[in-house]
Amino acid sequence: MLSLLGLLAMNSDRPRSRGGAGRARLVTERSEGNPASPGLTSRDRSATRSAQRAVIVGRPELSPIHRRSWRRCPDCARPLPIKAWRCQRRTCPGYAETWAKDNRRRLLDNLDAYDGRAVMVTLTPPGQDRLPWDEDVCRHLGPHEHTGKNGVCKIVAYVCDAWNEKAPERARELNRVAKLRADRALAKLGMDEKRGKLAHAWEHQKRGALHQHIIVPMGTDEQDAWGTNIDARWSRYYVAALDELAPTYGFGFVDDHPINEGKPRPAREAAAYLSSYLISGKAGKATITETVRSRVVPSVAVYVSAKLTAKTFCTMRNLRRARRVFMWRCGKAERPVWPHLELLQVLVVLDRLSPALVRNGP
């Protein structure tokens, strides 16, 4: 067996190169190993050296660091870690449909775990006084009334981009204040209870602005009959606060018709309606919407309450892991090495088992 000193001596005899200059020197030494032909002119030798330099400079992939660190996604051509199984960006053409289907199942499974009804309200962007129309985009239509439904009329680009960039931050602060008001309203009635929205999703309007769909809890019919429906009472306080504070935070109005005049529906039906803004159809006929492909939509395009995911374990991470376990079962991937509890959660999601399997596990 070779000793450590022997290995060091062998490595010291090898030609070393550091960076592009080192590689250039090494290639030059190899190219100069054979004496130049005496028949070559100075112009030919100069062209040969230029060609050698062009080859060296034009091949950055020879760098070991370059080979080990990242690669290009074949679908979106954006950088991807070399150890990544596939691109998982929402806007990647090769992953967008998978992302939309994962979020549809996440919405359906988690809201199905809520034992009650729900309604969806919409937080809209401001009108043309804050987001003016771009007259140049639809000038070819002649005299007409601007509307986003025709898909042609658009908001002025720089105004729309500035509003969309700040919309998620303003929506978070608006939600925080509205929830605080609703919790305090319950406390004034002697109810030491706190609630929260079940889910929300962003949608990219045809005119260019973002708006947010929010699902709030509405309790059960039995709670209505006994007058103990705290969820519905909290939701009405919450939506009223949203409607009052929306203009203050730069939004338009809140479409609260479903909660005030509409009829609450089972939470799973509300989730199915919300997921239709991401993907429509089934199986091979499924089509993703512009919201999924749009880079204007925030990175967290869909939110689900942590109280629900704690019951079902149906998260985006576990859905991705479920596909890996499935590939391992098919013999297409290595056996994943995860903690036992995390593996049980993934199996619950993959095989649609009862979440009690994890709680009653070894």
Concatenate the DSSP letters of all residues of 143-176 into one string.
S----GGGS---B-HHHHHHHHHHHHHHHHHHHH
The values of phi and psi at residue 160, to 5°, are -65, -40
Q: Which residue has the higher pLDDT, 2 or 287?
A: 287
Residue 256: is its pLDDT beyond 50?
yes
Alpha-carbon gap, residue 245 to 31, rounded angstroms: 74
Give yes or no for residue 233 having a pLDDT over 90: yes
Claim: this prediction has a pTM higher than 0.95: no
What is the band of 39 on the pLDDT scale with cuts at 50, 70, 90? low
Q: Which pLDDT tens digit goes with each residue over 200-231?
A: 999 999 999 999 999 999 999 999 999 899 99
Specify the pLDDT at position 284. 59
Confidence of residue 46 (pLDDT cuts 50, 70, 90): low
Of 169, 162, 254, 165, whose CA–CA distance to 216 is shortest?
A: 254
User: Per-residue pLDDT for 20 more than 60?
Assistant: no
pLDDT tens digits, residue range 269-282?
A: 999 999 999 998 76
Arithmetic mean of pLDDT over the chain = 83
- pLDDT one-digit tens code per residue, 79-118: 888 878 789 999 999 999 999 999 999 999 999 999 999 9
- Report pLDDT for 31: 41
Q: How do residues 178-198 score in pLDDT, each as one tens digit?
A: 999 999 999 999 999 899 999
Give the span between the Cα atoms of 87 and 93, in whole angstroms: 10
Q: For residue 78, which of 289, 300, 279, 295 has the smallest C-alpha distance?
A: 295
Q: What is the mean pLDDT of residues 340-353?
A: 91
Among 270, 281, 339, 337, residue whose Cα is nearest residue 308 = 270
d(CA 119, CA 116): 11
Helices (H), the chain: 4-13, 19-31, 42-57, 64-69, 96-112, 157-188, 221-226, 230-245, 257-260, 267-275, 290-293, 306-312, 316-329, 340-351, 356-359
Predicted confidence (pLDDT) at residue 59 exceeds the cutoff of 60: no
